[in-house]
Amino acid sequence: MTDRLEILKGRSEHLPTATGPRLRRILTDLADDALVDLFGDPGPGIALVAVGGYGRAEPAFGSDLDLVLVHDGKRNDISAVADAVWYPLWDSGVGLDHSVRTVDEAIMVADGNLKAALGLLDARHVAGDATLATQLAQRARARWRSHAPKRLPELAEAVAERATRLGEVAFLLEPDLKESRGGLRDVHALHALAAAWVAESPPARVIAAGQVLLDARGEIRRLSRGRAHDRLLLQDSESLATMLGYADAFALAHAVADAGRAISWTWDTTWYRVAAGLRSVARWRGGGRRPARRPLGEGVVDQDGEVQLARDVDPAKDPVLVLRAAAAAARSGLPLGRYAVDRLAREAPPMPDPWPDAARDALVALLATGDAAVGVLESLDQVGLLVRLIPEWAAVRSRPQRNPYHRYTVDRHLMEAAARAAAHTREVDRPDLLLLGALLHDIGKGFPGDHTDAGIVQIERIGPRLGLPPEDVDVLVAMVRHHLLLGEAATRRDIDDPGTIASVAASAGSVRILTLLHRLTEADSRATGPTAWNAWKARLIGDLVERARAVLGGERVPSPPSLDDRQRGLLALPDEHVVQVNPLPDEGMFEIVVVNADHVGLLAIIAGVLALNRLDIRRASARRNGGRALLQAAVAAPHERVPEPARLLADLRAALAGTLDVAGRLAARERDYAGARRWTTPGAPQVIFDDDLGSMTVIEVRAPDQAGVLYRIVRALSGLRLDVATAIVATLGLDVVDAFYVREADGGPVADGGRRREIADAILAALGPMEPIDRAESAGRTTQT
């Protein structure tokens, strides 16, 4: 008995090596056998019934045993029988969710408690009076059916609340496989709809998706020694993948994401029809009439709030019907009906190659509806129609992007990017290419090699198949080739530098492509995640685009003066130390101005002081004149906090005097944060030298984000007596990409290979120990890690 209970808790030294369904069967049998022994044979009128997950025979290590001791109300030994079962379980530490009730009492409790009602739908006899257990199960299901109009909206509300609170299995870095949207709870909700006789049983693909999540959950509990959590942690992914027979952690994440999407989509489409049915019943009872079929387009009608096919349409003879129906659904704001989408999946013929103009126009019309297009594209995807239309889609389907910067899988990100791009169709001269470019800009992520290079290859195949003329394919290729250009140039380079402006203009090549890239960049960023787009980034990119547009229009590249009037005035201030805080037009952004006597390492000290005050530096520049230094930094202040000039000035003076240990304080903070970063997997930092932007050398450093990383790098550069004119900081998820415009002490660029190696070594040493990677060189760029 003790050994069996220890195994159930997941803390025995003899845990079964089985996984998946076999493991769940073993755990169910162990629990059943233990409970039969404890229950004994007390005679008729009393039974032990498993409910919930245990009733479904889906236990995991450490799962609570959900039990109802049901009796007929005629026995006087109920407490003794219950104690004989409950106390040994409590003493052993097995989790127990228990109750003792008559059938009437159990039904009455379920009437007021959704969880109890759902649990009884899975009632399973374990020991004792089987007739009594059957009676409980039958009455619970009959009650659920008769109360469906009241209970099912309550169930849907619970599903929606969990989705809002816990996010989606498909898109979370560390999803809760049971509670998150698209998780096991949603599979149970689908079974509950079927139990109410308002929907069919979940299809085989949902059952298979549920098995994927159950299998992973079982091994999560094994790794955690039975602790009650169902979250797929990044740190456990490789071990779980090995246990479950996946090639690697990425393959496991892909399977989980695909399972979550199948479950959540099936819930959405099933509940929509159930809710419509409940409304129809209410209308019928109130004397209303059944809605008529309303034409929405050629071969497509609105039938009772769903897009269905017209009675006389033949999908097998009309390859464009799929996209016409999809566009009609998105325009009307109605879902594609399951009957229609399933029929299209069965009967729709392949699209001709190249596509007819009507098909491409229908796809563009679908994408132009914005947010409404996402749900329709998801429906096409779930039944295999999207891959049939664009075969390359299979490579990105449910493909995870396992970092906190990206919110969605690759395919969902592309759908969202197209939806965001729809808001800008009136701002470009080719809205069709903007929408198609947004939908396909990351298609290369499903193929080997650099995703931009791979994407170009795919677009060169997809474009002609869509029926686009060669000049339009060239535009799409340029959009894919340069879809990162504006974001990287604006956030990682100095947009006041003529070299940056000229480079962007040359890469775009035309005002049309520059304008398309501008709106694609915004759409891509907004679809990436909440940290990928803000007013600061928008302003930088907007300014850069305007300057590049001027160059493409024949104007000279603007060359800013070394000092403007404001900077001269600041450098002329008589105070020994000056610190100013000025609000910027972007929310949460401030300009920090520091004027001080010039000396080597001043920028590093100021960067450290700002880091200690929890100010995130986005850009910092240094100007010098007459022995004085002016440093201007654009910073983001968290939690709407306004930086305090007096505190910054005090810290600056202390740091300059050597009484403030900047390095030590930042190191202590990083140690404090390290425990919260259990899910990070930092790669080796990289140091990249770029000579393409003029007389100065740009040193780009890519490294894991940590407290004071800018301070540590600038201190290393200052120690080598390099003049840092500008520092630009970009944060990408768990990494930072810092760019430094530097000169040697004689005013020239960093040209010597040995000197570059010295600089790279100093930066890497400042960032901490790491393993070196092979040096890679390309035209004008040297990368060292």
Q: Which residue has the higher pLDDT, 563 or 375?
A: 375
Which of 146, 176, 209 delimits the end of a domain? Answer: 146
What mean pLDDT do residues 535-547 have? 93
Residue 311 shares a structural domain with residue 351 = yes
Residue 541 shares a structural domain with residue 527 = yes
Q: Is the residue at 352 inside a domain? A: yes
CA dihedral sign of residues 41, 42, 46, 48: negative
Which of 130, 146, 162 delimits the end of a domain? Answer: 146
Does the pLDDT of residue 769 top 50, yes or no? no
What mean pLDDT do residues 36-62 have? 94
Per-residue pLDDT band at 773 (split at 50, 70, 90): very low
Which whole-number Å values give the CA distances from 435 to 50, 101, 385, 476, in the listed order?
Answer: 53, 61, 19, 10
pLDDT digits (tens, 9 = 90+) for 161-198: 999 999 999 999 899 999 999 999 999 999 999 999 99
Q: Is the residue at 710 inside a domain? A: yes
Residue 519 shares a structural domain with residue 655 = no
Query: Cα separation of 215 and 561, whole Å?
Result: 64
Q: Which residue has the higher pLDDT, 32 or 224?
A: 32
What tokens does 58 get?
């889906």
Residue 44 shares a structural domain with residue 179 = no
Residue 61 shares a structural domain with residue 200 = no
What mean pLDDT do residues 397-404 have? 85
Residue 573 shares a structural domain with residue 707 = yes
CA dihedral sign of residues 130, 136, 140, 142: positive
Q: Is the residue at 398 inside a domain? A: no
Per-residue pLDDT band at 423 (split at 50, 70, 90): very high
What is the chain's mean pLDDT, rounded?
Answer: 89
Per-residue pLDDT band at 557 (split at 50, 70, 90): confident
Per-residue pLDDT band at 734 (split at 50, 70, 90): low
What tokens does 83 get?
């104690």
pLDDT digits (tens, 9 = 90+) for 297-354: 899 999 988 999 999 999 999 999 999 999 999 999 999 999 999 999 999 999 999 9
β-pairing, 697-704 with 686-690?
A: antiparallel
> Closest Cα partner for 611 from 704, 701, 710, 531?
710
Residue 275 shares a structural domain with residue 346 = no
Q: Is the residue at 610 inside a domain? A: yes
Residue 610 shares a structural domain with residue 730 = yes
Q: Is the residue at 235 inside a domain? A: no
Per-residue pLDDT band at 415 (split at 50, 70, 90): very high
pLDDT reported for residue 467: 97
Residue 578 shares a structural domain with residue 494 = no
Per-residue pLDDT band at 292 (split at 50, 70, 90): low
pLDDT reported for residue 776: 34
Q: Is the residue at 356 inside a domain? A: yes
pLDDT reported for residue 677: 45
Q: Is the residue at 399 inside a domain? A: no
Does the pLDDT of residue 737 top 90, yes or no? no
Which whole-number Å values give the CA distances from 653 to 151, 530, 573, 602, in the listed order?
Answer: 67, 37, 17, 11
Which whole-number Å values give the CA distances from 673 to 40, 683, 706, 732, 757, in the listed order?
Answer: 54, 18, 9, 18, 31
β-pairing, 294-297 with 124-128?
A: unpaired
Which of 146, 174, 197 delimits the end of a domain? Answer: 146
Residue 75 shares a structural domain with residue 24 = yes
pLDDT reported for residue 778: 36
What mean pLDDT do residues 702-715 have? 84
Does the pLDDT of residue 672 top 70, yes or no? no
Q: Which residue has the higher pLDDT, 418 or 4?
A: 418
Per-residue pLDDT band at 782 (split at 50, 70, 90): very low
Residue 160 shares a structural domain with residue 97 = no
* Position 512, amino acid: R
CATH number at residue 116: 3.30.460.10
Q: Is the residue at 242 inside a domain? A: no
What mean pLDDT do residues 770-785 have? 39
For the question of whether the overall pTM of this predicted structure is more than 0.75, the answer is: yes
Which domain, by its residues, includes 73? 2-146
Per-residue pLDDT band at 403 (split at 50, 70, 90): confident
Residue 261 shares a structural domain with residue 113 = no
Does the pLDDT of residue 436 top 80, yes or no? yes
Number of domains present in the structure of the chain: 5
Q: Which residue has the higher pLDDT, 370 or 5?
A: 370
Question: What percent of the chain clears pLDDT 70, i.e. is strictly above it?
Answer: 93
Per the omega criterion (within 30 degrees of 0), is the bond before 354 cis?
Answer: yes
